[in-house]
């Protein structure tokens, strides 16, 4: 039965589950390395085996569990689906509520390094006037919001769910922010709840350019835009396979990922290597190993690899379909790895701030938390 109740939630993984994981890691059967054992054919055995050893022998889930439980967490049922979220209020009474949405293969763990600076800016050398109350939900089908009970979890449906969540929390004015799937959901929240959303901020882009641009239109692009379009073309040729699998056979893939922790680890680490910046640097040299493994653990412990794939890629609107412009002010932070092109994003978004930077990758809150925090503060400063 659906109610408006917000239930306090605490992560409490049974020890038997952790013992089972360690046993599986101990009994890992790694494949033989392919010729060269490099990233061209996937995650190298030589690199992943070291991460598996660390996961088995040194990673401390209980310490991470305690860290996560230090933040107030709740669950509620909206549109028939359990929704899990962190709700971290600032000590500043006039802080602006801000809804943060993660992506795939991410989780609420993406935002751990920005919670402090956003809720308590003074403690991090900032201004109290820039404080936020944070609401950080797990996407339907992901982590402790999974698995999904119904089909049809489009970005628009998620956005309507987020609007209802903010209503239940009593917030009449709020901002939204996100990357990856969060960059698709956040503008939809602006469309679904435009009377209450004061601003939309995304890292990456709130939309992609149309496919198969005519040669004459390509010729009008700047060098930076040409580079981004070329990288989209390369992605479609060389990396689209995971989307094809997740959007057509998420259940079949789920058997492997939910049953094998190393399979789950490799599937996610492949994307962290491809999408962090610079690409030639190993992902655990850019993002702390414990944070990488915590993100994987949230998928593993909840058994939501198939559910997350189903929601993330099986329910999306066709590429290039134009959406209504909500009129909500929108800020975009484009990192070096990202491929956002302003002229196309402006077709369905009211862009009031667009910032290109020459560093950072897809996982903004993990790779460049200080830069992301600064841009969020600056964007919302005039909208409070």
Q: Which residues are catalytic?
A: 180, 313, 362
State the DSSP H helix or E strand holding residue 232, giving kind and residue range, or none if neither: helix 223-238
Tokens of residue 345, six digits: 């994003």
State the DSSP H helix or E strand holding residue 331, giving kind and residue range, or none if neither: strand 329-334
Return the closest-CA partner of residue 101 out of 10, 168, 190, 162: 162
Tokens of residue 241, six digits: 């396979």
CA–CA separation, 355 and 218 (whole Å) = 22
The burial class, CB within 10 Å (0-12 / 13-18 / 19+), for 283 is buried
Contact between 307 and 142 under an 8 Å Cβ cutoff? The reply is: yes
CB atoms within 10 A of CB 238: 10
CA angle 264, 269, 271 (to 5 degrees): 110
What b/e string do you get for 63-83 counting C-beta neighbours within 10 Å, with b at 16 or more?
A: ebbeebeebebbbbbbbebbb
CA–CA separation, 346 and 6 (whole Å) = 37
Q: What is the DSSP string of 169-230?
A: TT-SSEEEEEETHHHHHHHHHHHHTTTTEEEEEEES-SS-PPSS--HHHHTTS-HHHHHHHH
Cβ neighbours of residue 176 closer than 8 Å, sequence gap 6 or more: 98, 99, 101, 162, 186, 189, 190, 197, 199, 200, 201
CA–CA separation, 218 and 228 (whole Å) = 11
């Amino acid at each position: 039965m659906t109610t408006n109740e917000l239930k306090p939630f605490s992560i409490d993984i049974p020890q038997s589950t952790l013992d089972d994981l360690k046993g599986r890691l101990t009994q890992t059967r790694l494949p033989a390395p392919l010729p060269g054992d490099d990233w061209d054919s996937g995650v190298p055995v030589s690199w992943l085996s070291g991460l598996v050893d660390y996961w088995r022998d040194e990673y401390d889930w209980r310490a991470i569990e305690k860290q996560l439980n230090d933040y107030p967490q709740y669950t509620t049922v909206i549109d028939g689906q359990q929704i899990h979220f962190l709700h971290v209020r600032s000590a500043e009474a006039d802080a602006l509520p801000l809804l943060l949405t993660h992506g795939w293969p991410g989780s609420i763990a993406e935002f751990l390094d920005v919670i402090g600076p956003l809720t308590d800016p003074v403690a991090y050398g900032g201004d109290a006037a820039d404080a936020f109350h944070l609401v950080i939900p797990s996407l339907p089908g992901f982590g402790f919001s999974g698995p999904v009970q119904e089909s049809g979890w489009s970005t628009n449906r998620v956005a309507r769910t987020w609007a209802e969540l903010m209503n239940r929390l009593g917030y009449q004015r709020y901002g939204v922010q996100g990357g990856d799937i969060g960059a698709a959901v956040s503008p939809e929240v602006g469309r679904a709840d435009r009377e209450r959303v004061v601003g939309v901020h995304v890292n990456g882009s709130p939309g992609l350019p149309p496919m198969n641009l005519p040669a004459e239109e390509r010729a009008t692009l700047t060098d930076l835009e040409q580079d981004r379009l070329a990288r989209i073309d390369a992605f479609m040729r060389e990396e689209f396979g995971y989307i094809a699998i997740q959007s057509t056979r998420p259940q079949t893939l789920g058997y492997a990922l939910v049953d094998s922790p190393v399979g789950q680890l490799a599937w996610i680490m492949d994307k962290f290597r491809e999408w962090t910046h610079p690409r030639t640097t190993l992902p655990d040299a850019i993002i702390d190993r414990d944070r990488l493994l915590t993100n994987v653990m949230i998928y593993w412990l909840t058994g939501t690899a198939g559910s997350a794939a189903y929601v993330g890629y099986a329910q999306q609107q066709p590429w290039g379909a134009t959406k209504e412009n909500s009129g909500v002010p929108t800020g975009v932070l484009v990192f070096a790895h990202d491929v956002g092109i302003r002229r196309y994003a402006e077709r369905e978004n009211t862009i009031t701030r667009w910032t290109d930077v020459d560093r950072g990758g897809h996982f903004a809150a993990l790779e460049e938390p200080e830069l992301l925090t600064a841009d969020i503060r600056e964007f919302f400063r005039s909208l409070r």
